[in-house]
Amino acid sequence: MKQYLTLLKYPGFFPFICTQFLGAFNDNVFKIVISMLAIRNMGSQSGAYLSLIGAVFMLPWFFFSGYAGHLSDRLNKRSILIWAKAFEVLVMILAYFAFLAGHIPWMLLVLFLMALQSALFSPAKYGILPEMLPDKELSRANGLLEMSTFLAIILGTSVGGFMFSIWKDHLNPIGIVLVIVAMIGYGTSLRIGRVPMPKRKPRFNPNPWGEITQGFRHLYQQRMLWSSVCGIAYFGFLGAFLQMVFLLFGSEIMDLDEFSISLLGTFLAIGVGIGSLLAGRLSGDKVELGLVPLGSIGMAIFAIWLALSGDSFFQVAVMLSFLGCAGGIFSVPLYAYLQQKSATGERGKLIATSNFMQTLGILSASALLWILHDFLSVRPDKIILILGLFTLIVTPYILKILPQYLIRFSLWMLTHSIYKIQIRGQKHVPFRGPALLVCNHVSSMDPLLVNACIQRFIRFLIDKDYFAQKGLSSLLHTMKAIPVESGGRPVAISAIKQGRAALLENHVVCIFAEGVMTQTGDLSPFKKGFETIVRGMDIPIVPVYLHGVWGTVFSTQGSPSFWKRLMKVPFPVSVSFGRPLPSSATAQELEQSVMALSRDVGQEPV
């Protein structure tokens, strides 16, 4: 929680969260009001009308996402957010007159304009985060952003349902509330932190799908970005589908009134908000895609359980909360990864492409609901069961494309359960590009300790004997570890070649330059194998020192016993990263740098 409070102190970030919150609140008040109106007035055709509402809200995303991405890459993102909020004020004034007249076509027009405002707002909203905040805050920022959005959904859905139950015969007071909220949101947008103007001015493409086509081509060339966008689109599909189907579930299966139905959406949104914060907390200072398959498994299990919950309001509410929590854990790392890996000059275009794919997913949800409910007459609980089973089927594919991330996250959890880690000098490890880490070797957990401190994948040079152990071999190969000879023999030529190849591919490589694990707790002389790996290359060499690991359960210290040491979990340790040395540095120079780090333990980070 302390890290989230620190995040809110960044200049302009709290007003940004407030601006997003108030906009999402207005959207959901209006949508729930006209949805309740549909259920009340349309009878057996309510499913078709709900699908129409979903389709109308998505049309601007389909036609204007490309333009929105172009504006985000060309103009100052803060200015876009302010102008979008000014437009929202005008739209809410129109909503007041639509409610006053009780004219449904006008209400649908307002819904379209609301969606247009959101489509223009979205690329700048997500794109401004990497410009406003340091990279290490992206996961927490996205967690807080999604939590505030779903908190707005909670209040918007419940307050909208409550106001509808009071003023369902005269809706214009609701319009007054919407105008006031929009004006407050415009005021908070003026206090959003300033960000630089884009350096690149992309040429305008009049084709509404021109930018989207370019975005698809770029994403498809980068497998992980493409997979992330597909995951975001599926989350959009799932969320939209559930938002519509739980209305039918509440009225047809549970026989609830309008206000009780709106409360079901509240529990779903609470779950997503909690899951979003949890994802930001578990990600730490990195973007953790290892959470995605865990979220997918959770969504599948709880959707199936929800379908089997019958008419128990308590059980349905609990399952919706857990389902939402799994959804938050699933989505936050995907949003953060897209922001982090998108180049600054094309981030708006790629986010717009992601929004376009989400639009296709949400339109598909509307069409699928109409087919299953109105055309095939499938009961709402059976529809949810189908959704859960499909998600369960998709999960193995997610596990297939993200094995390294899931393993890294699992090992990160294990490491932080055993050790209480203090990290020093993390900034010295480059965020992009190659680097060689040279570390002292104290225990068999050393690779996990180093890996737990930075967000990049590390190719470790590991004693070849570990590759012969059952269970470890497949794990080491999945993590792309490099086997090396031990026992004082020269570093194998194949290991040198693999290490150089990894560096040439811009990866981070780590070597334990002592060659063997310490038997005394003291630093042993560094061997020269790493000099051969980096010879002729211009890359930084980062010294790393592990402190406090000697004497823990996985070191070679002879006493006390394993079980007595285990009782001291979590062990307080520190991992220090020193200032990078040039690739011409010798083994002696690296050894001196690591020794200097050992002397700096307990002082300010180097």
- Mean pLDDT per 10-residue run, the chain (606 residues)? 79 92 92 79 62 79 87 90 95 91 84 92 90 85 86 81 81 90 95 84 80 86 86 87 81 79 78 89 83 92 88 87 92 88 82 88 83 86 90 86 80 83 88 90 87 86 81 81 67 79 92 83 83 88 90 63 59 90 89 88 47
d(CA 412, CA 102): 56
Q: Which CATH superfamily is domain 16-195+205-401 in?
A: MFS general substrate transporter like domains (1.20.1250.20)
DSSP 8-state class, residue 254: S
Rounded Cα–Cα distance for residues 329 and 327 (Å):
5
pLDDT for residue 603: 46
The reported pLDDT for the residue numbered 561 is: 54
Give residue for tokens 């949003």: 335
- In contact, 565 and 590? CB cutoff 8 Å: no
DSSP state of 485: -
Q: What is the pLDDT of residue 604?
A: 42
* Residues 198/126, Cβ–Cβ less than 8 Å: no
Nearest to 23 by CA among 111, 147, 153, 132: 153
**DSSP secondary structure, 153-209, as one string:** HHHHHHHHHHHHHHHTT--HHHHHHHHHHHHHHHHHHTTSPP-PPPS--PPP--STT
What pLDDT does 488 receive? 46
| H or E, element range at 296 | helix 291-307
In one-letter notation, the amino acid at residue 568 is K
CATH 1.20.1250.20 intervals, the chain: 16-195+205-401
pLDDT value at position 568? 65
Smallest CA-to-CA distance from 72 within 185, 189, 166, 200 is with 200
Q: 3-state DSSP call for residue 486?
A: coil
Main-chain dihedrals φ then ψ at residue 194, nearest 5 degrees: -75, 145
Q: Round to whole Å and give the CA distance between 605 and 294.
A: 34
CA distance 56 to 110: 10
447 prior amide bond cis, ω within 30: no
Question: Computed from CA positions of residues 434, 438, 443, 449, in that sequence, does the dihedral angle turn out positive or negative?
Answer: negative
Q: Token digits for 123? A: 């690329």
Starting from the edge strand earliest in sequence, which strands make up the sheet with 482-484, in order? 419-424, 571-577, 541-547, 435-439, 508-512, 458-463, 482-484
Query: What phi and psi, each to the nearest 5 degrees, are found at residue 16?
Result: -60, -45
Q: Which single residue is written with the structure tokens 């128990």?
A: 312
In angstroms, the CA 163 to CA 165 distance is 5
8-state DSSP, 195: -
Element housing 597 (H / E) = helix 587-600
Burial degree of 185 (CB within 10 A; 0-12, 13-18, 19+): buried
